[in-house]
Amino acid sequence: MQTGLVDSKVAVEQKTLEGIGVAPVVDTTSTFSDNLSLPIHRWFRYSAGFSALWVRKLINQEKAKGPVNVLDPFAGSGTVLIEGELCDAKAAGIEAHPFVARITKTKLYWRENPDDFYDYAHNILSKTKVQERDISGYPKLIHQCFLPENLSKLDSLRRAWEAEAANNVNLPLSELTWLALVSILRSCSPVGTAQWQYVLPNKSKAKVIDPYDAFESRVRLMAQDMRVRRRQPLGPPATLYFGDARDCIDIPDGWANLVITSPPYANNYDYADSTRLEMSFFGEIEGWGDLHNAVRKYLIRSCTQHAAKHNKEVYTILKEPLLSPIGEEISEVCKLLDAERAKHGGQKPYHTLIATYFSDMAKMWVALRRATSDDSSICFVIGDSAPYGIYVPVHKWLGDLAVAAGFKSYSFEKTRDRNVKWKNRKHRIPLCEGHLWIKG
C-alpha cells in the first residue's frame, strides 16, 4: 500500500451496497494486510507490499493460457516470487534495497528442513548471555527505541547469531535465524512505528514483548510455516536478484510473459528510511545520514531527499530524449512546482522529484521491453500524486512512456480513491490508486 504525498492516512472508500445486505467491498489489492495471515509472506511486515491472494489469482489466470514466467522488477518483500512458486510458475524478481533484498532472499529459503532451522535457532537462543552486555556502542536511535533490559537481550541474541554465523557454513539456516531476529525488533520496542514503518520515538505503545519470548515464538512460527508450505505444491524455486529495474540486467531477453509489480510511487516516500531501525541495530548504518550511501543511491528517485541532489540539472533532465513523449506536459508541471516551491517554508524540490522519477521510470520501461516477450501481460499497481496540490497524472505518463518504449497499448483501472475525505488534508485534489495494464 502506498500513501499519497501528504495524505498519510489513506482514505479507503467503502462501497456499501445499501439495502441488499451486502457487506462493504474494500479493494485490498494494494495492501499487505492479507499477507499477515499467510505462511512465509508474514515473516516480515513490509507495509509497501501488495496482496498475495490477488497476485495468486492473476498468475493462475495466466497459467490457464499456458506456461508462465512471471517477473517482478520491484520485488520488495517477494510477494510475487512466493506466489509464483506456489502456482508452479517460473518466477524472478529484482530488488534494489540491499536490506529488503536480503530479507526476500531469506524468505526463499523456506525449503530448508524446518527441524534443522528450529534446532539451529534454539542453539543460538541457548547461548545468549545477558549479564555482561555492553550496549553503549549502539546508535542513538536504538537507545531511543529500546529499554536497556530489552536491548541487552537483543544484543545477546545478535552476538550469539554472529558467533555462530562465523563458525557455521550453513548460510540458509543462519540467514533464516537472522530474519527471525530482524522481524521481532519492533515488537520488542515500546515506541511507536507509523503505518509506513517509520520509527516514532516520541509515541509509545502498550504491548512490548520480551526479546527471548518473541524470538522463540517467531522461530516456531517460521518452522511451522515451512512445514505447511512443504505440503503445498512446490513449483520451481524463484530467484531474487539484488539489482536495478532500470536495466533488468539479470533477466534474459524476452524471458517474462507476465509482469506483476508495484513500483515506488511519485509520492515522496523514502524506502531507505523504512528499515532504518533494523539497519541501525545491525550496525549497517550509524544514523539517517548514512542511508543515502547504504540504500537510497540504488533506488528509483521517488523522494525529495534523493532527488534534491539533482536540483541544478532538472531542466536538462526534462530534455532527455526518453522523456520526449510527455515532454511538454511534464515541463509545464515542473515549472509550476518550481514556482510553488518558493511560496512554502519547506521549499521541497518536488519539481526535481517529478523530473527524476519519470526519467528513471522511462529507463525502466526500456529495460522491461527487452526482458518481456511480445505477447506479455503487465500489471503495475500505481497511484497518482499532487505535490503542493498540483496534479501529476502518473498513470497516464507511465502509460505513454511504456508505449514509447515499444509496448502496444495501456489502460488504467481505478481500484480505489485516495484523498477523498477533505478533513486534515493539505490539498483537495482527488487521487486514486489502480492497475495500469500494459499489453506487450
- For ligand SAM, the binding residues (CB under 6 A) are 46, 48-50, 74, 76-77, 79, 94-97, 100, 244-246, 262-264, 271, 299-300
By C-beta, is 247 or 338 nearer to ligand SAM?
247
Nearer to ligand SAM, 97 or 102 (CB): 97
Under DSSP, the state recorded for 265 is P
Minimum distance of ligand SAM from residue 211's CB (angstroms): 26
Q: Taking the complex as a whole, how short is the minimal distance between the CB of residue 196 and ligand SAM, in angstroms?
A: 11
Instruction: Using alpha carbons, select from 187, 183, 169 the residue that is nearest to residue 120.
Output: 169
> What one-letter code names the amino acid at 89?
A
Q: Which is nearer to ligand SAM, 75 or 390 (CB)?
A: 75
Output 44 or 146, the one with its CB closest to ligand SAM. Answer: 44
Q: Give the shortest CB-37-to-ligand SAM separation in angstroms.
A: 15
Of residues 106, 116, 65, the one with CA closest to residue 376: 65
Shortest Cβ contact with ligand SAM: which residue? Answer: 76
Cα–Cα distance for residue pair 248/245, rounded to 1 Å: 5
**Which one, 118 or 269, has the nearer CB to ligand SAM?**
269
Beta strands in 87-220 (DSSP E): 90-95, 191-193, 199-204
By beta-carbon proximity to ligand SAM, the closer residue of 178 and 271 is 271
> Which has the closest alpha carbon to 49: 172, 197, 220?
197
C-alpha cell at 370: 527487452
Least distance from C-beta 55 to ligand SAM, angstroms? 8
Min dist CB 101 to ligand SAM, Å, is 8
The torsion angles phi and psi of 93, rounded to 5 degrees, stand at -145, 155
Q: How far is the CB of 168 from ligand SAM (least distance, A)?
A: 29
Which is closer to ligand SAM, CB of 68 or CB of 121?
A: 68
If phi > 0 it is left, if psi is from -120 to 50 it is alpha, else beta; for residue 111 that is alpha
Nearest distance, CB of residue 271 and ligand SAM, angstroms: 4
What sign for the dihedral angle of Cα 230, 235, 237, 238?
negative
Measured between alpha carbons, how far is 365 from 259 in angstroms, rounded to an integer? 12
State the minimum distance, in angstroms, from the CB of residue 165 to ligand SAM: 25
| Residue 189 φ/ψ region, left for φ over 0, alpha for ψ in the -120 to 50 degree band, beta for the rest | beta
Residue 208 cell numbers, joined: 512490548
- Give the separation between CA 211 and CA 188, rounded to whole angstroms: 6
Between 263 and 434, name the residue whose CB sits nearer to ligand SAM. Answer: 263
In sign, the C-alpha dihedral spanning 92, 48, 260, 237 is positive
C-beta neighbour count of 22 within 10 angstroms: 10
Among 349, 263, 344, 361, residue whose Cα is nearest residue 310: 349
Beta carbon of residue 48, minimum distance to ligand SAM (angstroms, whole number): 4
Between residues 41 and 218, which has the closer beta carbon with respect to ligand SAM?
41
Instruction: Say how many C-beta atoms besides its own lie within 10 A of residue 421's C-beta.
Output: 14
